[in-house]
Structure 1
Amino acid sequence: MNAPTHLDSTPQLEDFPYRLTDNVRFADLDPNQHVNNAVYATYFETGRVTLMKDPKHGLVPEGLAWIMVRLDIHFRAELRWPGRIELGLGVAKLGRTSVTFDQVVFSEGKCVASARAATVLIDEATRKPTPLTPDIIEKLQPWLRRGVERR
Structure 2
Amino acid sequence: MDELLNDFPITTEIEVAWGEMDALQHVNNAVYFRYFETARLDYFKQINLLVNLKESHIGPVLGHTECRYKLPVTYPDTLLIGSRVSDLQDDRFTMEYQIVSQKLGKVVTVGSATCVMFDFKNHTKALIPEQISQAIINTEET
Q: Same fold (TM over 0.5)?
A: yes
- What does residue 137 of structure 2 align with? 141
Distance 1:78 1:144, change over 3 A: same
Could you list the runs of 5+ residues in structure 2 that have no partner in the other structure?
Answer: none
For residues 145 and 105 of structure 1, the distance between their equivalents in structure 2, rounded to whole angstroms, comes to 21
**Alpha carbons 1:26, 1:82 under 8 Å: kept:** yes
Query: In structure 2, what is the equivalent of residue 115 of structure 1?
Result: 111
Q: How far 1:145 moved relative to its partner? A: 8.0
Question: TM-score under structure 2 normalisation?
Answer: 0.87
User: Percent identity over the alignment?
Assistant: 25
Q: Which amino acid aligns with 1:57?
A: I
- Correspondence 1:53-92 to 2 at 5 A: 54=45, 57-60=47-50, 61=52, 62-92=56-86
Q: Give the Å deviation of 1:63.
A: 1.8
Retained in 1: the 8 A contact 2:49–2:59?
A: no
The alignment of Structure 1 onto Structure 2 pairs a total of residues equal to: 134
Does the CA contact (< 8 Å) of 1:123 and 1:130 recur in 2? yes
Distance 2:123 2:41 in 1: 19
Match of 2:97 among 99, 103, 109: 103
Q: Letter of the aligned partner of 1:131 in structure 2?
A: L
Question: 1:142 Cα shift?
Answer: 3.2
Aligned to 1:34: 26
Corresponding letter in the other structure for 1:41: F
Q: Give the alignment partner of residue 129 of structure 1, picking from 110, 125, 129.
A: 125
8 Å contact 1:90–1:145 — kept in the other structure?
no
Q: Which structure is higher in helix share?
A: 2
Equivalent position amino acid for 2:41 in 1: V
How far does residue 23 in structure 1 lie from its aligned partner after superposition? 0.4
CA contact (8 A) 1:64 1:122 kept: yes
Unaligned runs of 5+ in 1: 1-10, 147-151
* Equivalent in the alignment of 1:22: 14
* Residues in 1 aligned to 2:71 and 2:141: alpha-carbon distance in whole angstroms: 22
Q: Which has the higher contact order (CA 8 A, sep 6+)?
A: 1
TM-score normalized with structure 1 length: 0.82
Q: In the superposition, relative to structure 1, how do residues 145 and 76 fare at CA in structure 2: closer, same or farther (>3 Å)?
A: farther
